[in-house]
Amino acid sequence: MAHQGSGILPEGGATANLSNDETRRHIGSIRHEDRPAKSLRQPTHQNLTGSLSRDYHARMDRWLRRANAFQASVKEACIFYFRIWIIQGLLRQRPLPPSKDGRHIPLTAGEVRTSPLIDERSGKHYKSNSIRSSRYSLLSFIPKQLFFQFSRLANFYFLVIGLLQQVDGWSPTGRYTTIGPLAAFVALTMAKEGYDDYRRYQLDKEDNLALASVLVPSGTAHKQPGASVRTLFAKGSKGSLSQGYDDKTAVNDSPGAKEGAGDGWARIRWRDIRVGDIVRLERNERVPADMALLHATGANSTAYIDTMGLDGETNLKSKQPSVLLAGRCDTIQKLGELSGELVCEDPNANLYQFEGRITIEGETMPLTTNEVVFRGSTIRNTTETVGVVINTGEECKIRMNANQYVHTKSPKINRYTNRIVLCLVFVLLAITAGLSGGYVIWQRNYEKKNPFLRPMDAAPIVFGDIILLNALIPLSLYIVIEIVKGFQAWYLDDIEMYDAQTDTPISVNTNTILEDLGQVNYIFSDKTGTLTENNMQFRKLTVGGTSWLHNMNMVDDDMRDKPNERAEDAASAMAHAETNPSRASESYSRPGTEAMLEYIRRFPDTAFSKKARHFLLCIALCHTCLPEKTEEGEIRFQAASPDEVALVQAAQDMGYLVVDRPAQSIKLELTNNLGEGRVETYKVLKVIEFSSNRKRMSIVIRMPDGRICVICKGADNVIIDRLRLSDLAAKTAAEVGRRASMRRSMEAEREIRRRSLAPNSPRNSHGGRPSFFGTRSSSVFKDLTPSKMTRGEEEDEDEGPMLGNKPTAPWTDESVGDDEGVINEEIAADEAKVIELCFRHINEYATEGLRTLLYGYRYISEEEYQEWDATFKAATTSIADRQKRIEEAAESIETNFELAGGSAIEDNLQAGVPETIDKLRRANIKIWMLTGDKRETAINIARSANLAKSFSQIHILDATMSDVAESMRDIFIDVDRGHSSHSVLVVDGYTFGVLEDDRALTDMFFELAVRIDSVIFCRASPSQKATLVKGVRDKDSSCVTLAIGDGANDISMIQASHVGIGISGREGLQAARVADYSIAQFRFLQRLLLVHGHWLYLRTSKYILCTFWKEWVFYLVQGQYQRLNGYSGTSLYQSWSLTLYNAVFTSLPIFFLGLLEQDLSPETLLAVPELYSLGQRDEGINLKKCFAWVLQGSVDTVLIFIVVWLEFLFNLDGGPGNTNSHDNSLFPMGSLALTIIIVHINVKILILEMHHKTWIPLAACALSISLWFFFLLIIGALPIKHSQDSPYRIKDGFVDMFGKSLSWWLVAIIGILIVVGVNLGVTAIQRVFFPTDRNLWQEIEQQGGVAALQQHRSESNAEDGRKPLSAAPEDPPLDGRVAGHR
């Protein structure tokens, strides 16, 4: 895409009143305003040339902007009128108006089962709970599919030709030669589409027929639609909610439970659930509809919800019913007596905000997302949950976020195919016009002068010529390519993309868009389960001025292999440390936390030991985890965040085990110096939960000794201001940040210097397209010489540490790695020094891509707590501005903390993710990460996965902090001026929602986003993910987008993209089922795109070009022959050979070319990802290349026809006296032309064009040619009755007539040598004088390949006295100047 300017808005950010054109003009202005003034001492002619060039480009930009604006306005008008006239007018599907004050749902048990509620917006019942993802119904399938099939230009063309053939006297080739194959092809395609849609219907049916427990009135269970005959609440049981549980788990201890209650639970199908139903869910049961919680059996009425299929997050969410419902809904009797009303907002797609209220006995409380659960969630770790349904079916959040109007995908290459077909239609009409004109001339010169020649009407002549040459647009292109793609999909089953751990190979759900895998420009990736395993591991901690590596959860192969040596080292170190504990670090400096614990055990009263114990206690107490004992007696933790589980497990490893969490307390099992365990109880007075605004969590604890302690954990920038020594901490953090900034600047300068060594390339995802016979590659090849690589350039290849491998500490002017695990009691006693070292360690952890937290604590008096507690209670029960008041109350107690320490957690990436992203970026693919996680988490993962470098400039768009228009304006300036070598844009779901409300801001955002190197979209809902993909597609219409994810929340994004890939991961198979392709690991994307995608695009491109070329050669000879038969439409070729030309004689060449072609080896394509630009730049097939093939084919046809015509001119005397002559009738002449054509086509396609030559294509070439001569033998043996009324004398023609003539064979061989020689010469000239990058790498492969070039490079370094570069086998042997950066 060609960008026009960098895009800013006028002063004041007044964007709402700007039109689209005005916005684009403002966006385009900054490039010229901010460009430095050029020197005036330039030659006049250069100034004039530059001025003319700028004027030309300015005019072209204005024309393109106007064309795009006109196209957008036409599209919008069509959509508007389609919605008004068709959807609302014809189909009567009008949008519902908003309700007055929300949806009113009475809280009356079972009433809606007899009297369904009415939706005030429509005056009808609320929508059913049935869902539908299939695209067709029984009635709509045939008309919709027929419309889609014949909206393809080629299919419509063949339909017209087939109809013309039905007219008597118009078709020289029969009536059903076109309409028959077309009908079979369309029927086959429709059957495939129908099967795919039937599979979607089956998945919908599985959901709609699932069962859930619904509270129904007495005696009506058997009358409920879809209800099970057996009720779950039988006579004689207690009045609790639970059935099927033992007395320990059932909620049957509430007062008022009666035996034999009248109402009961009935199992009802999901599709029959109604708004207002009271539903009971058990552990691990899916939520059938959006519900407001009424009761949960967890501690403090807490239910734990798995929202993995909804927002992609694997951490459990804690939900609680409203405080008004406490003790009101825990038995059947109480549910029956419940009376109140629930009011909630109209259905919408916002997953992260909910507004409602509940009224019980005149008292009203607000409802938020904390009190509701949405369809797509699953109940976890909660025995029983009861809720009232508020939204059903297509009005549920997950369905409103689904992409319900899915368009059938078609490959990008179809654009060129359609253009070629359209051009050939005009060429066919032009040839027909020429032949018709030739007939008029021939009629005037010959026909009128010879009375025995019967005149013909114009219509048979014109339409006969069209039908005669109609196969210039071959139907075989669309038939054979479906077969080829079927085999291509089968060949994708690569062992290198097989995951042995899960026994999961690649799965291909559609073969329609295989070639798009080789043209991807943007990748939109989910985070959880796609890039990461979502397996948090506690890695490092800093306490008392010392940094420690937590290696208890790591497998150390070296130490495991040498246990005796490890024990001896530890014993000797500890023996020396005991003699001088104040300087223990001199001898005891093992960095593992095991060593720290051993030191604490031996020296419990030192300053470091006291700080370390208190820090571990803070980790063990400040969390919301719930311990749960398994059947084996092990303790597992459930929490709302996997980070908290990692922290608590680390505390457990270090002797602080959370064994129980009863109401308002935490029980810890501690291990003393003697190894004995004891249990202590800590009373939880208050928990102030984490929020995206606060960025911290606090807990108020009453210690066993009665003191009250406030413990707070959060981001370092948040904790700094709340420390007792906040001024010192801020100063220290600023200094650490300055040093880090210097390091990033040096790395950025190194990256800019590396890029400057390569030819400039556009910032956009796919730059200008080179010419067909460009001269660029010669200069590129010069840059590939190993001697040109300096040591500095080699070092620049390493772009810093990667978390996926072994992280290495980056350069700092004052290394902190040397003090890791070194205890110095003097430093531990110096608070200022501890703060300084702590922030240095935290900065190091963050640079390595770890997720960091700081802990602070302070002790408060009883009076101070009571005063604060009153304020906090008032805030939590407030209806107006409740969240704001809670945050203000929390601020008052979260002050004057002592620094406890810091932690670092690693979110394990999937294997090979950083390397894969690095190679995809080298392939000029922009990678965007779309996740439902919070911003800080997303940025940390982006750094770990190499989406953001250590030197990257991160731009954050936040509508709550600043004006987004002004922020985008500043980012535009930075990006356009090239201030950063790598820029990353971070935007959240709320900010994107603000942008969506303003068309000018939306256009500005996407204009900015396509220029940024990477985009991180956090807190994104499924519908926003799909909107983002669609926005990029609209902004850059020539791009190919790929979306990859593993959860149900990724489905809409996958369906909105050109290519959708699902990962068969922890979140199930929802995405893998609906995606176009599914793989087991993100790293397989590297091979899928760079190797198979490249091959598939190349194969399909060559297949299309060769198919059109062979038809052009075949039928242009036919057209030239018309001059010799009076333009009568007589075919040069016998009708059977005409039919079998595409089906038999030339089908194998294009089939094996489209199936087996490989221009380069997988090793080369993986080592040099820049070669992927072949598809991005449309170098495989474009109009210039098509013109070159047509030109070459025209030369071939002229040469073939001249050779054939001259041979028959020489043999006009076919009498027995002329020994050199043979049968000079039509059949030998057409057979000679076909012989040259068939041999030439097979040789050119399978030998000259096909690079990957094996015995299979060579055998196919020999077989195709043999089939032609075998055909001549067969038809020559047929009885004469099959040709007695035909102008072709085929009976014994080949065996007894021209097949015995030496001159016929000699001319055939000469003709073949001429046309093949001309094509071979053109190929040789192109490879010698105009080589492409692929040609150069093919030569390198012939000389040993990438490995040999790497060895040669190392030898050159050794000769120059330089140290050889140590690189992994798969690392690129060259820098990024190979291709793509031109």
| Alpha-carbon distance values, 281 to 109, 213, 639 (Å) | 16, 7, 20
Question: Would the pLDDT of 209 be above 80?
Answer: yes
pLDDT of residue 300: 67
Q: How far apart are CA 273 and CA 214, in angstroms?
A: 8
pLDDT of the residue at 700? 93
**How many whole angstroms separate alpha carbon 385 and alpha carbon 947?**
41
DSSP 375: T
458: left (phi over 0), alpha (psi -120 to 50) or beta: alpha
Which residue type does 639 have? Answer: A
What pLDDT was estimated at residue 405?
Answer: 54
Q: Are 662 and 681 in contact (CB under 8 A)?
A: no
Give the position of tokens 């006995």.
361
Provide the CA 22 distance to its chain's centre, in angstroms. Answer: 33
What letter represents residue 611's amino acid? K
Percent of the chain with pLDDT over 70: 74
Residues 6 or more apart whose Cβ sits within 8 Å of residue 846:
852, 940, 943
In this prediction, residue 567 carries a pLDDT of 39
What's residue 517's pLDDT?
Answer: 93
What is the model's pLDDT at position 791? Answer: 31
pLDDT over 70 at 39, yes or no = no
Q: Which amino acid is at 594?
A: E
**Averaged pLDDT, 1334-1341:** 89
pLDDT band at 128 (very low <50, low <70, confident <90, very high): very high
Return the DSSP state at 1247: I
Residue 578 has pLDDT above 70, yes or no: no
63: how many CB neighbours lie within 10 A of its CB?
10
* C-alpha to C-alpha distance for 46 and 698, rounded to whole angstroms: 68
pLDDT digits (tens, 9 = 90+) for 771-825: 333 333 333 333 333 333 333 333 333 333 333 333 333 333 333 444 555 788 8
Least confident of 894-898, 1199-1203, 1220-1224, 1360-1364: 1360-1364
The most confident of the ranges 73-82, 408-417, 1110-1119 is 1110-1119
pLDDT per residue as tens digits for the range 991-1019: 998 898 888 889 899 999 998 999 999 88
**Which of 857-861, 876-880, 1091-1095, 1324-1328 bottoms out in mean pLDDT, i.e. has the lowest?**
876-880
What pLDDT score was predicted for residue 614?
92
pLDDT band at 880; cut points 50, 70, 90:
low
Across the strands, what pairs with 1014? 927, 984
Helix (H, G, I), strand (E, B) or coil at 1151: helix
Question: Are 629 and 635 within 8 A, CB to CB?
Answer: yes
> Any catalytic annotation for residue 526?
yes
Q: Is residue 408 scored above 70 in pLDDT?
A: no
Query: What's the angle, vertex CA 983, arms to CA 977 and CA 986, rounded to 5?
Result: 125
Is a pLDDT exceeding 60 seen at residue 1212? no
**pLDDT at residue 168, as a whole number:** 77
Tens digit of each residue's pLDDT (9 = 90 or more) over 67-109: 666 766 777 777 777 777 776 666 666 677 888 888 999 998 8
* 1190 three-state secondary structure: helix
Q: How many CB atoms lie within 10 A of CB 892?
A: 12
Distance CA 983, CA 1191 (A): 45
pTM for this model (two decimals): 0.68
For 88, 510, 588, 959, the CA distances from 571, given in Å and listed in that order, are: 83, 63, 10, 58
Report residue 254 as tokens.
Answer: 């509430």
CA distance 331 to 280: 12
Region 573-580: mean pLDDT is: 43
Distance CA 157, CA 477 (A): 13
pLDDT band at residue 839 using 50, 70 and 90 as cut-offs: confident
* pLDDT of residue 1321 exceeding 90: yes
Q: What is the pLDDT of residue 1225?
A: 76
Q: What is the rounded average pLDDT of the residues 1018-1036? A: 87
Higher pLDDT, 937 or 192: 192
3-state secondary structure 275-327: CCCEEEEECCCECCCEEEEEEECCHHHCEEEECHHHHCCCCEEEECCCHHHCC
Q: Is the pLDDT of residue 581 over 50?
A: no
In angstroms, the CA 1131 to CA 1143 distance is: 18
Average pLDDT, the chain: 76
> How many angstroms separate the CA atoms of 107 and 386, rounded?
13
Among candidate residues 1337, 1346, 1327, the one with its CA nearest the CA of residue 1378: 1337
Backbone region of residue 13 per phi and psi (left: phi > 0; alpha: psi in -120 to 50; beta: other values): left
Instruction: Report the pLDDT value the prediction gives residue 745, as an integer from 0 to 100.
Output: 62
Reduce the DSSP state of residue 1052 to 3 states and report it: helix
- Which two structure tokens, joined as six digits, stand for 1241? 């086509």
Tokens describing residue 495: 């062992």
What's the pLDDT score for residue 588? 40
pLDDT of residue 692: 60
634 or 1110, greater pLDDT:
1110
Whole-number Å distance between alpha carbons of 577 and 815: 25
Is the pLDDT score of 232 beyond 50?
Answer: no
User: How distant, in Å, are the alpha carbons of 544, 594, 714, 726, 1116 from that of 607?
Assistant: 8, 18, 24, 22, 94
Tokens encoding 81: 């009128």
- 44-81 helix and 20-33 helix, angle to the nearest 10 degrees: 160
Q: Which two tokens stand for residue 106?
A: 């009475």
Say what the pLDDT of residue 1245 is.
93
- Residue 380 dihedral angles phi and psi, to the nearest 5°: -130, 145
Q: Is the per-residue pLDDT at 239 higher than 60?
A: no
Q: What percent of the chain has pLDDT over 90?
A: 22
Instruction: Give the tens place of pLDDT for each residue, 1038-1083.
Output: 899 999 988 777 888 888 899 999 887 555 566 777 788 989 889 9
Q: Is the pLDDT of residue 12 over 50?
A: no
Alpha-carbon distance of 342 to 338, in angstroms, equals 12
Strand partners, 547: 542, 820
Picking from 411, 489, 494, 521, the residue whose alpha carbon sits closest to that of residue 1104 is: 411
Residue 266 has φ and ψ, to the nearest 5°, of -120, 145
Q: Do β-strands 522-525 and 1041-1045 pair in parallel, antiparallel, or remain unpaired?
A: parallel
pLDDT at 1244 over 90: yes
Record the tokens describing residue 1127, joined without a space.
């333009």
Yes or no: say if 517 and 303 are a contact pair by the CB < 8 Å rule. Answer: no
CA 168 to chain centre: 54
Nearest to 1135 by CA among 1263, 1282, 1238: 1282
According to the model, what pLDDT value does residue 959 have?
Answer: 85
Whether 526 contacts 1047, CB under 8 Å: yes
Using only C-alpha atoms, the chain has a radius of gyration, in whole angstroms, of 38
Of 290, 330, 516, 526, which residue is the catalytic one? Answer: 526
Mean pLDDT of 918-947: 85
Residue 756 has pLDDT above 80, yes or no: no
Q: For the purposes of burial, counting CB atoms within 10 Å of the CB of 172, is it exposed (0-12), middle (13-18) or buried (19 or more)? A: middle
Judged by average pLDDT, the poorest of 223-227, 333-337, 628-632, 1281-1285 is 223-227
1189 pLDDT above the threshold of 90:
yes
Token reading at 816 = 């902190």
Report pLDDT for 901: 92
What digits encode the pLDDT tens for the residues 343-379?
998 998 888 778 888 988 888 888 888 889 999 899 9
Give the range among 283-287, 532-536, 928-932 with minimum mean pLDDT. 532-536
> Average of pLDDT values for 402-423?
75
pLDDT band at 295 (very low <50, low <70, confident <90, very high): very high
Residues 1220 and 1211: beta-carbon distance below 8 Å:
yes
Summary count for the chain: helices (H), strands (E):
44, 36
Give residue 1117's Cα distance to chain centre: 48
Could you tell me where the beta strands, DSSP code E, fall in 695-838? Answer: 696-702, 708-714
* Highest mean pLDDT of the ranges 33-47, 93-107, 678-692, 1323-1337: 1323-1337
**pLDDT of 1107 strictly over 80:** yes
Q: What are phi and psi of 653, to 5 degrees?
A: -60, -35
Above 90 in pLDDT, residue 238?
no
pLDDT one-digit tens code per residue, 596-618:
888 888 888 899 999 999 999 99
Q: What's the CA gap between 1051 and 1073, in Å, rounded?
A: 9
Model pLDDT, residue 989: 86
Residue with token string 């207690």: 238
DSSP letter at 457 equals -
pLDDT at 169 over 60: yes
Q: Spell 622-632 as b/e; 16+ CB within 10 A means b.
A: bbbbbbeeeee
Label residue 33 by pLDDT band (50, 70, 90).
very low
Angle of helix 1183-1210 relative to helix 413-445, nearest 10 degrees, comes to: 30
The DSSP element (H or E) to which 541 belongs, if any, is strand 532-543
Contact 1288, 1227 (CB under 8 A): yes
The three-class DSSP label of residue 972 is helix
Q: CA geometry: angle at 1062 spanning 1057 and 1063, to 5°? A: 145
CA distances to 746, 1037, 1151, 1332 from 766, in Å: 28, 12, 30, 18
8 A C-beta contact, residue 457 and residue 1149: no
pLDDT band at 521 (very low <50, low <70, confident <90, very high): very high
Q: Which residues of 1195-1225 are buried (b: 16+ CB within 10 A; e: fewer)?
A: ebbebbbebbbebbeebeeeeeeeeebbbbb
The segment with the largest mean pLDDT, out of 482-496, 634-648, 1002-1016, is 1002-1016
pLDDT at 833 over 70: yes
CA atoms within 13 A on the CB side of 391: 23
Structure tokens belonging to residue 439: 């007939």
Residue for token digits 């009808």?
124
